[in-house]
């Protein structure tokens, strides 16, 4: 399938590693130009070098309003002919239960998951081309709460609701969707499994095997598998998909819509 991405411009948040890098890789392989943003300049430089001449970068932290403004300005300058889409993605929030997290930590999570992305979209909305696509990376916590990840359990469903609202407000010019990864083989997944293994006093390998047993496809996903679905949703090939919440989780979430 031709995703019709030739020379289109995309901003990929959290693009220096993990899921963001996987999506950027597919976009570029399909002919798009991608501006990566993340907090670490070193990681961004390394990612852009790997991706080649169609990749560039700007350092930015979605939880910092001033930093978001810098990303908006750079994106506007880079894609003068219009922006074809944005992957709204960031690192996972702090672990902890609802009552363990402090007020400051809750505010930090809000800025990261909702506040920063809202400011970014507000700034970039005038630059979005006709038929552009916004895609929020959420989590399986939107459908089923995850242990010791209450900031995600509470705020990610808010992102799903925001995407539904934006799909109405920005349509028909712009499409808005969410994509919910399950257990994908990233640094974040390994961190969570190591933390849970430590709490349960079992080996990391045993913790991972326990999680894989809960997935109908019997394994963690590869980031590239996630990247292909996300790139499709960002592309003109998905021109009649808006307001949708797509799961890429190997069947992990069993709840009906």
Per-residue pLDDT reduced to its tens digit, 97-122: 999 999 999 999 999 999 999 999 99
Question: Mean pLDDT of all residues in the chain?
Answer: 95
Per-residue pLDDT reduced to its tens digit, 236-252: 999 999 999 999 999 99
CB 229 within 8 A of CB 179: yes
Specify the pTM. 0.95
The one-character DSSP state at 148 is T
- In sequence order, which residues have a C-beta less than 8 Å from that of residue 144 and are 6 or more positions away? 253, 254, 255
Per-residue pLDDT reduced to its tens digit, 202-213: 999 989 999 999
Per DSSP, which regions of the chain are E strands?
Answer: 9-13, 33-38, 55-59, 83-88, 128-137, 174-181, 245-248
Distance CA 35, CA 54 (A): 8
Chain position carrying tokens 């130009």: 33
Q: What percent of the chain has pLDDT over 70?
A: 100
Q: Please give the pLDDT value at position 199.
A: 86
**Residue 1 binned pLDDT confidence (cut-offs 50, 70, 90):** confident
8: pLDDT strictly greater than 90: yes
Per-residue pLDDT reduced to its tens digit, 35-80: 999 999 999 999 999 999 999 999 999 999 999 999 999 999 999 9
Q: Please give the pLDDT value at position 32.
A: 98
Distance CA 53, CA 77 (A): 17
């Amino acid at each position: 399938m031709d995703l019709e991405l030739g020379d289109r411009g995309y901003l990929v948040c959290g693009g220096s590693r993990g899921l963001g890098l996987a999506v950027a890789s597919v976009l570029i392989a399909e002919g798009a130009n991608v501006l990566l943003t993340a907090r670490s300049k070193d990681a961004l430089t390394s990612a852009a070098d790997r991706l080649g001449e169609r990749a560039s970068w700007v350092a930015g932290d979605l939880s910092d309003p001033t930093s978001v403004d810098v990303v908006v300005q750079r994106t506007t300058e880079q894609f003068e002919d219009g922006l074809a889409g944005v992957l709204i993605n960031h690192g996972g929030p702090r672990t902890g239960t609802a009552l363990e997290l402090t007020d400051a930590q809750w505010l930090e999570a809000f800025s990261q998951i909702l506040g920063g992305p809202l400011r970014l979209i507000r700034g970039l909305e005038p630059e979005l081309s006709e038929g552009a696509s916004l895609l929020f990376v959420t989590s399986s916590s939107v459908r089923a709460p995850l242990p010791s990840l209450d900031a995600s359990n509470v705020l990610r469903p808010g992102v799903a609701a925001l995407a539904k609202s934006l799909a109405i407000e920005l349509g028909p010019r712009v499409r808005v969707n969410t994509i919910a990864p399950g257990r994908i083989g990233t640094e974040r997944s390994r961190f969570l499994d190591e933390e849970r293994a430590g709490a349960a006093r079992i080996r990391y390998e045993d913790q991972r095997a326990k999680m894989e047993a809960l997935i109908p496809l019997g394994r963690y996903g590869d980031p590239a598998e996630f990247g292909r679905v996300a790139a499709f949703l960002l592309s003109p090939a998905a021109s009649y998909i808006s307001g949708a919440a797509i799961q890429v989780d190997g069947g992990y979430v069993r709840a009906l819509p």
